Structure 1
Amino acid sequence: MHGRTKVNVLPDSVRVLALILCIGGSTLAASSSRDLGDGSGFADYTVVDANLEAGAIPIVINEFLAPNSSDKYLDSQGEPDDWLELYNRGDAPFDVGGMYLTDDLLQPAKWHIPTSDATQTTIAPHGYLVIWADRDVADPGLHADFSLNAGGEDLALFDKDGVTLVDSITFDQQVANVSYGRFPDGNDSWWLMTFPTPGGPNVRIYEGITRKPKFNFDHGFHDREFFVAITCETEGAMIYYKTDGSVPYVADAARPSSMAALYNGPVRINKTACLRAVAVKPGWQPSPIETRTYIFVADVIKQSPTGASPGHGWPTGSVNGQTIDYGMDPDVVNDPRYKDLMGDALLSLPTISLATDVSNLFDSQRGIYVNAKRTGQDWERPVSVELIHPDETEGFQVDAGLRVRGGYSRSDSNPKHAFRLFFRSEYGTPKLKYPLFGKEGVDEFENIDLRTSQNYSWAYDGSERHTFLRDVFSRDTQRDMGQSYTRSRYYHLYLNGQYWGLFQTEERAEASYAESYFGGGKEDYDVVKTVGGNPSYTIEATDGALDACRLLWEAAVAGFNVEEPYYRIQGLNPDG
């Protein structure tokens, strides 16, 4: 079988153990995984070789789901993985064993459909076969050695020679838990399916896909008023927008959000704004939200000089005991020593702009900023992430999941929390694809930290230890000594257009990091750290399990007075 070779760096008795002691901070970054040059979240879908001719192979790709985060569609291991469905348009059973599936037309033989059990791979006349696209090739059932990129890619079926194309589709950005399939089954017409039907007849719900809005101005820095024209290629679509960073449309309720405006002409922008727009059409799937941040440095310097709330939705006082500190300090920006330097300072570093509903941050019950000690995916909120370079170097906009990260810094008395970004298929793309650290590091990320000055910092407790500089210096020194390290870059951060201070991206030392830099697969690594916000330093495995860590710990406690146990933890024979 063609598939990925599992790499074991250490023996099975110990497995690969990446012991990460998360004592200090972390960092951020992001980018779109696919160039949506036409401004549409859903580009044209291309179907290839779908017509059944005499003597032709009757199998077609009939439906797929990416991303799958629903508990309604689980594989035999109970996991909500992406899947695809093959359909037999013929009048006789057909065994697809020996054929190939791929998500890259340049690698047609990427995954070889097993030939070991014809009962698993034979499709009845006008029947269906579901294959999980999750890379879990060792699991029982049919599991392809690739996952589907919800941001868009190719999906193809090749004949047993690994050369002859049987069927393929090129798709663009997908919607979480909404499949895309032929209707009727085996037909050349593709439709969104809000009721996915793996292994059964397809059911059409939407009439079509509303194209993503286009803005005639990209994100960036400005010093004079301008007007943004918003267009949509879907005829008859209406556009709703907001300029405060919150979402303009509630998809679940099929209605515009509070204070969203119906677009009827170019939008005036004369101060810092996070413009977000959505296109909708009755009976059609609403478009993804388009987001662009426009920053006026002269405006930023004057934000909330008295510490007052920035406006609608922002708290006017403490929430759940959380200290909240808005705006720029007039004692600094008006100081003769600094006032003429502020503009250049705000343009001296790249900017990261985060846009999300204010309630995702500051609501007393569900806001992650005012419940900072809460951890896990239940405390992850959707966010738009933009990287904006002052010199107009190409940045990105990508949707992601946002959490608070850190330990001691989660304290309510600390007005400045750090963040972690997660790139998941449910937000549109499973990975950020952007060279955050230039040639110094990899250019694909499943997550990234956005850390800031916290404990032992001047900003929080007047400390002279300067951890905001010292931590990066220490990690870079590890690099200079030829050791593994996590990379960082400094940024200005904005939340819905409000300046939030200096932050820095940092790679998160976990399984996908290990896969990127040390090889093997994520499943080869255990990552052990202290539980976030836990003063007792209880440890947990954020990837893998604690078993290997406990074995290593117990061996170390028992001691290495003789050479045999020392050799054994390295996977060597007793004599070395």
Structure 2
Amino acid sequence: MNLRLLLYGFLVVFLPAYGQFSLPDTIPFGSPLLKGSGEYVVQEMEGNAITVVINELLAKNSGGIRDEAGDDDDWFELLNYGDEPVNLNTLWFTDNKSKPCKWRILSDEPVLLNPGEYMIFWADDEPWEGFNHTTFKLSGDGEYLGIYSGDLNVVDESFFGVQSPNVSYGRFPDGGMSWFYFDNPTPGGPNDRLVNEYLLPLPHSNIQGGIFTDPVSLQLTTGVDRGEIRYTLDCSDPDKHSQLFNDALYIDSTTIVRARIFKEGAVDGPILSLSFLFEDHDYENPVFSLVADPKNLYG
């Protein structure tokens, strides 16, 4: 028997209908997983469950969907997996577990999430743009996202790691227990069946960028079995059609190297950007190199 207090005042009990087996975790009551094949004995205890989960999030939106102001801000998606509407005005949202009361919906009318409905919230720290714009942002380097009830009990939460541009992180199936990466984000709709469990890491480099006077030899390695590195020298984001890194790069003039690991069946990882600046004199003040894909510099 597997017991777990899933939500405050709400206990889901799983009993094997026959034979013996183990469950990796507790499935939220009302999850699509319970609507599939198999036999379950489910006991609902007294209390009202808040049947809302974080179903998908995108912490590195680069040219993807845009909000009403035309900004490609980060976002997260909620799903009501239950059978009754949920008033979202009663909930707190936060990106800091030690500060659960960071933001809540300010609206004259109740914001209801109906059964089976999805709703997008923009994590842009621009609450004046609408009821679904939070006072915090999501970090692409990984952080926390949580939903709390009015009495500050956890409704749902996600601890996510380093994210990749335009790759979302979410549940599959919708409302289920398992989290995956999606090359094809689906804000406001069911998550894509084409899922990936593995997000590739940054390439390893033998030297860091900086200011140089003598030529350098740059070597990049993956540390990933059957992974390959693609790179660009024009500041653009490397993709699967970019130059394949086979041998060390000999660099003797100012060069921007951007590299990324690719592997079949895995989500493309973050981009490594290295600035090699060749100058014949020292600077009194620190030098800052800003690197971006040229297509993102002009609107």
Report the TM-score, using the length of structure 1 for normalisation. Answer: 0.38
CA distance in 2, matches of 1:159, 1:229: 51
Give the strand-richer structure, 1 or 2. Answer: 2
Residue of structure 2 aligned with 1:182, choices 171, 180, 183 = 171
**RCO (CA 8 Å, sep 6+): is it higher in 1 or 2?**
1
Give the helix-richer structure, 1 or 2. Answer: 1
Structure 1: gaps spanning 5 or more residues: 1-48, 302-344, 361-365, 367-375, 380-576
Q: Is contact 1:191-1:204 (8 Å) kept?
A: no
1:213 alignment partner in structure 2: 203
CA distance in 2, matches of 1:174, 1:123: 30
Does the alignment pair 1:282 with 2:264?
Answer: yes
Does the alignment pair 1:84 with 2:4?
Answer: no
Q: Is contact 2:231-2:238 (8 Å) kept?
A: no
Letter in 2 for 1:236: R
CA distance in 2, matches of 1:191, 1:185: 11
Does the alignment pair 1:112 with 2:104?
Answer: yes
Residue of structure 1 aligned with 2:114, choices 111, 123, 126 = 123
Deviation at 1:224, TM superposition (A): 7.3
Deviation at 1:144, TM superposition (A): 2.3
Residue of structure 1 aligned with 2:245, choices 242, 254, 261 = 261
Does the alignment pair 1:65 with 2:66?
Answer: no
Deviation at 1:175, TM superposition (A): 4.4
2:28 alignment partner in structure 1: 52
CA distance in 2, matches of 1:95, 1:193: 29
Deviation at 1:63, TM superposition (A): 1.0
Partner SS, residue 90 of structure 2: coil
Inter-CA distance 199–50: structure 2 relative to 1 (3 Å threshold): farther
Residue of structure 2 aligned with 1:196, choices 163, 185, 190 = 185
2:93 alignment partner in structure 1: 101
Letter in 1 for 2:173: P
CA distance in 2, matches of 1:171, 1:219: 28
1:316 alignment partner in structure 2: none
Does the alignment pair 1:153 with 2:143?
Answer: yes
Deviation at 1:213, TM superposition (A): 0.9
Deviation at 1:353, TM superposition (A): 4.0
1:560 alignment partner in structure 2: none
1:350 alignment partner in structure 2: 286
Q: Is contact 1:103-1:146 (8 Å) kept?
A: yes
Aligned residues: 256
Q: Is contact 2:120-2:188 (8 Å) kept?
A: yes
**Cα deviations by residue, 1:453-498 (Å, 9 ceiling, x for unpaired):** xxxxxxxxxxxxxxxxxxxxxxxxxxxxxxxxxxxxxxxxxxxxxx
Letter in 1 for 2:155: V
CA distance in 1, matches of 2:226, 2:172: 24
Deviation at 1:292, TM superposition (A): 2.5
CA distance in 1, matches of 2:258, 2:124: 33
**Cα deviations by residue, 1:292-331 (Å, 9 ceiling, x for unpaired):** 3456x7xx44xxxxxxxxxxxxxxxxxxxxxxxxxxxxxx
Root-mean-square deviation over aligned CA pairs:
3.8
Structure 2: gaps spanning 5 or more residues: 1-24, 30-43
Deviation at 1:161, TM superposition (A): 1.7
Deviation at 1:217, TM superposition (A): 2.8
CA distance in 1, matches of 2:145, 2:87: 20
2:234 alignment partner in structure 1: 246
CA distance in 1, matches of 2:64, 2:237: 25
Q: Is contact 1:132-1:143 (8 Å) kept?
A: yes
Q: Is contact 2:237-2:258 (8 Å) kept?
A: no
Inter-CA distance 111–351: structure 2 relative to 1 (3 Å threshold): closer
Q: Is contact 1:65-1:179 (8 Å) kept?
A: yes
Inter-CA distance 144–222: structure 2 relative to 1 (3 Å threshold): closer
Q: Is contact 1:239-1:279 (8 Å) kept?
A: yes
CA distance in 2, matches of 1:286, 1:176: 9
Deviation at 1:255, TM superposition (A): 0.9
Deviation at 1:355, TM superposition (A): 5.6
Letter in 1 for 2:201: R
Deviation at 1:128, TM superposition (A): 2.3
Q: Is contact 1:224-1:270 (8 Å) kept?
A: no
CA distance in 2, matches of 1:354, 1:155: 29
Letter in 2 for 1:378: Y
Deviation at 1:103, TM superposition (A): 1.6
Q: Is contact 1:110-1:145 (8 Å) kept?
A: yes
Q: Is contact 2:53-2:79 (8 Å) kept?
A: yes
Letter in 1 for 2:122: W
Letter in 2 for 1:350: P
Deviation at 1:104, TM superposition (A): 1.9
CA distance in 1, matches of 2:93, 2:163: 20
Q: Is contact 2:142-2:161 (8 Å) kept?
A: yes
CA distance in 1, matches of 2:63, 2:256: 31
Q: Is contact 1:215-1:229 (8 Å) kept?
A: yes
Inter-CA distance 238–86: structure 2 relative to 1 (3 Å threshold): same
Deviation at 1:269, TM superposition (A): 5.3
Bigger radius of gyration: 1
Deviation at 1:204, TM superposition (A): 3.9
CA distance in 2, matches of 1:79, 1:275: 28
Deviation at 1:156, TM superposition (A): 1.0
Q: Is contact 1:213-1:290 (8 Å) kept?
A: yes
